[in-house]
Amino acid sequence: MTRVASIGECMIELRQGPGAQPGGLYSRGYGGDTLNTAVYLSRLGVDVDYITALGDDALSDEMIAGWAAEGIGTKRVARLAGKLPGLYLIQTDDKGERRFFHWRDSAAARELMDLPETDDILNSLASYDIVYLSAITLSIMRQDGRDRLMAALKRARLLGTRFAFDTNFRARGWPDLNVARKVFSSAFEAADIVLASTEDLAPLYPGESHTALLAGISSPEVVLKLAEPACILRAAGATREVRAEPLIKPVVDTTAAGDSFAAAYLAARLGGAAPEDAARAGHRLAGVVVGYPGAIIPRYAMPPKKASRPSTSRKASQ
């Protein structure tokens, strides 16, 4: 049985490396937060399907072929005639910090909750151990689409599926912060696992302390990544800090640091690891990813897998 469903949007990626001259050449790839997580989940040995909508164009064909080559299931990818994927451009500064520019208003993924096959997609969520999505996923939907998805997640949870929510926040996706706060609150109430960061939550809850931010998240298992290389973990009623190991390589590009952390954390939890060990696995993979340009690092750069006893049922790693 497929263990994880990752829901979201993948876009065409154009990227200039650090120090590139204005007007210089860009390399083309593809990426998106939940797709990046799906790739890393698959590389960590987790069965994962990606749920999205694409066009019927050659670039969409290229994406699906690439996902399949990574071992990602594509049976839940809807194809829309005449549509295209969105596009984004990355610029990175000399410190590896990135800046994004997006063209996605008419992208196929925005219609995911309004298709003839939407009901089948939503009903399938109960067949997964974990359904993972991010705030970016929710930001590209209309409110009725968000409501439809959240209702399906709540139904799936009654049958044993867990919901993992990543707070990946982009202000341009939320022109009304009050709407964003309501959506986040609803996701926090429904989620079994929340993967958050102070960077994401600061625009929504300015001036709040780490303690206050954690208190505002009602989910039973929460990882709050900090500005420094550490996170605060709340699970089983206890709160503790988990620090990252020092980086071996200099930071080149921070793209997908959070996405890879999420993948390693969820993979470890599915493998039966304790939350603290899962957080260490997240720090470890993210520390490698930031040493390479782009969202997806070469396969040879993946850190060696640490043995863990796989869970035999949905309840084993809860």
User: Is 306 domain-assigned?
Assistant: no
User: Is 15 domain-assigned?
Assistant: no
Asked if 86 contacts 59 with a C-beta cutoff of 8 angstroms, the reply is no
Provide the mean pLDDT of the chain.
91
User: Is 146 domain-assigned?
Assistant: yes
Report d(CA 38, CA 46) in Å as an integer: 9
The boundaries of the domain holding residue 121 are 3-9+32-84+109-301
Q: How confident is the model at residue 197 (pLDDT cuts 50, 70, 90)?
A: very high
Stated pTM of the model: 0.91
Provide the percentage of residues in the chain whose pLDDT is more than 90.
78
DSSP-H helix ranges across the chain: 33-43, 58-69, 118-124, 135-139, 143-158, 177-190, 198-201, 210-215, 257-270, 275-289
Sign of CA dihedral 291, 295, 298, 302: positive
pLDDT at 313 over 50: no
Q: DSSP of 52-79, one letter per residue?
A: EEEESSHHHHHHHHHHHHTT-B-TTEEE
The domain spanning residue 292 has which CATH number? 3.40.1190.20
Closest CA to 279 of 238, 239, 248, 243: 243
Q: How confident is the model at residue 293 (pLDDT cuts 50, 70, 90)?
A: confident
- Number of domains, the chain: 1
- For residues 153-176, average pLDDT: 96
Q: How confident is the model at residue 18 (pLDDT cuts 50, 70, 90)?
A: low
Q: How confident is the model at residue 196 (pLDDT cuts 50, 70, 90)?
A: very high
User: Is 122 domain-assigned?
Assistant: yes
5 backbone dihedrals φ, ψ, rounded to 5°: -115, 130
Task: Give 3-state DSSP helix, strand, coil % of the chain, rounded to 5.
Answer: 40, 25, 40
| Helices and strands: H and E segment counts in the chain | 10, 13
User: Which residue among the candidates 166, 192, 259, 277 is catalytic per the annotation?
Assistant: 259
- For residues 51-67, average pLDDT: 96
Is 259 one of the annotated active-site residues of the chain? Answer: yes
The burial class, CB within 10 Å (0-12 / 13-18 / 19+), for 153 is buried
Element (H, E) at 196: strand 193-197
For residues 73 and 20, which has the higher predicted lDDT (pLDDT)?
A: 73
